[in-house]
Amino acid sequence: MTILIHSETKMVVQGLGRDGSFQASKCKSYGTPIVSAVHPGRGGLYFEDSVPIFDSVEESVDTTGANLGLIFVPAPFALDAIIEQVDSGIENIVCITEGIPVQDMTKVMSYIEGKKVRLIGPNCPGFICPKENFKAGIIPSEIVSSGPVGVVSRSGTLTYEAIVQLTNLGIGQSACIGIGGDPIHGTSFVDTLRMFEEDNDTKIIVMIGEIGGLREQHAAEYIKSNVSKPVVACIVGQTAPSGRRMGHAGAIVTGKSALAQEKIKVLKSSGAIIAESPTEIGYVIKEILK
């Protein structure tokens, strides 16, 4: 099996509103083993006639053994949803929800510190593993193909862009992960690089970063000392004006170190191969594979 999942991974979907129901159906049709769903007030009913719905995550886990959680709960309730999954023993939690207040995520990160749990997100597209037909999130399964390239990105849209380029060039993916662009989130570039480095199915890593923060610098430090596989990095936002928020809450240029050129410089020094534009990622990978 690839990163994040194993042969006994079973998913619970929390939040069956309009978007949650639509995306859960997409995950299920792709092949993801969804064993339960949680939506207060609908306990005892079934999602798509086969997936039991429970009123609480604890009841769901106790009954079905779910160990990976996918959250579509609205932002005001996401803090409680994440903590409920942590308390129920979920190993990996993927939170798609956007707009969660920073103070709520501060509480979440403090709560999960030291606990055996991985949080991906929030405000992210989740992940997809083509070889296993496993999808936890909103990455379109129609654009992926199975192969040796691991993709990690702060931007959901650019995750899709990279995947489409690779697939159109006949280059498949081992796993594709969107970690989210909020200022405070769970799984980092370093966490994902570590997983890809240890994964036998991943031969090349694509890393898509943005302006703002120091996440790419931390990734560069890790690449230099710990990653033996080729890393193709692309940093977007090279023309962004200083001091202005650019799309993501975390994409704010707050000083020289947050500039795209500074991130590119440090990634180059770590040994990463730079794709100057998102449109070049696939072609850079193709050259490496020649």
Catalytic residue among 6, 185, 218, 248: 248
According to the 3-state scheme, what is the secondary structure of the chain? CCCCCCCCCCEEEECCCHHHHHHHHHHHHHCCCEEEEECCCCCCCEECCCEEEECCHHHHHHHHCCCEEEECCCHHHHHHHHHHHHHCCCCEEEECCCCCCHHHHHHHHHHHCCCCCEEECCCCCEEEEHHHCEEEECCCHHHCCEEEEEEEECCHHHHHHHHHHHHHCCCCEEEEEECCCCCCCCCCHHHHHHHHHHCCCCCEEEEEEECCCCHHHHHHHHHHHHCCCCEEEEEECCCCCCCCECCCCCCECCCHHHCHHHHHHHHHHHCCEECCCHHHHHHHHHHHHC
Q: Catalytic site residue 248?
A: yes
Residues assigned a catalytic role: 248
